[in-house]
Amino acid sequence: MSGEKIEKLAGLIAGSRNIVVFTGAGVSTESGVPDFRSPGGIWDRFDPREMTFQKFVSSEESRRRYWDLFRVTYREFRGVEPNPAHLAIAELEKRGRLSAVITQNVEELHQKAGNSPEKVLELHGTMWKIRCLDCAANYPWTEAYKLLEQGKIPENCPECGGLFKPATIAFGQQLPVRTLEEAQERSRSCDLFISIGSSLVVYPAAFMPQLAKEAGAALVIVNREPTPFDDIADLVIHGQAGDTMKSAVELAGQN
C-alpha cells in the first residue's frame, strides 16, 4: 500500500464535504463474511441458477432450496462484526462529510458500525428482514431461522396469504426502485465518490461511479483487483479496504 496514495486519498477526503461511499463484498470479507463466489463459498454448495426470483415464486421445491440457502447463510453470518473500513466510513458521517453509503452488501455491518440507517442505501436489500412479497408485512428472521433448523419454512403471510421471502434481492428480482433512484441522485451530486471492495461489474449498481465522475466528482477506487473503471478514476489503490480507509480517514482528520 503506497503511502503517497494514502496521503492523496486523505487530501481528497479532507477537501470534500459531500462524500458518497460505494461498498461491495470486498469490504465485508475482511470481517469474515463468506464470499459467495470464492472457492468453497456458498455458490459451490448451492447452484445460483436455482436461486432465481422466478423459481422462488413458482415452485415450492425451489422455495425450500432457497430457504435452505438462507439457513446456511444465517448460520455463517451471525456474529460478524464491522472491520476498520466500516468504522472509518462511519467516522466520515460523524465528521459531517458523508452524503450516503451505497452498498451491495446485505449484512448491515455499516449500520452496526455506526452509520445512520437513513444514510445507508441497500441496493440488494438486507438478510435480517423477512418480508411478504404482496403486502410487505414483516416476519422475524430469528423465527424463520428456528423453523429452518427444524426442516420447516415460514408459512404464508397471515395478513394476505402472500409468500414470505428474505428481504434480499434474488437473481431476476427488480432492485428497489426508490433506493436505486436515490443512489443515482446522491452519486450525481457528490464531490467525492469512493468505491471500496467492489469489482464494479454488476449492473445497474456499477453505473454509480460513472454517474459521479460524469457529474464532476473525484473518483477513487479501492479494491484488491483491477476494475473496469480504473482508467477513469482519479486514484486507484489496490489494497485492503480496512487498512486503506483507516489510515486515510485518520490522516484526513489531521488536516
Q: Which residues are catalytic?
A: 124
Contacts of 247 (CB under 8 A, 6+ apart): 1, 6, 10
What cell was used for 205?
449498481
**CA-wise closest residue to 55 among 65, 45, 46:** 65
- Planar angle of CA 135, 140, 144, nearest 5 degrees: 100
Task: List Cα–Cα distances, 57 to 22, 66, 175, in angstroms.
Answer: 31, 11, 16
DSSP 139-155: E-HHHHHHHHHTT--PP
Kind and range of the H or E run holding 37 = none
**CA-wise closest residue to 235 among 248, 222, 226, 225:** 222
What is the DSSP-derived secondary structure letter of residue 174? Answer: P
Phi, psi of 189 (to 5 degrees): -105, 5
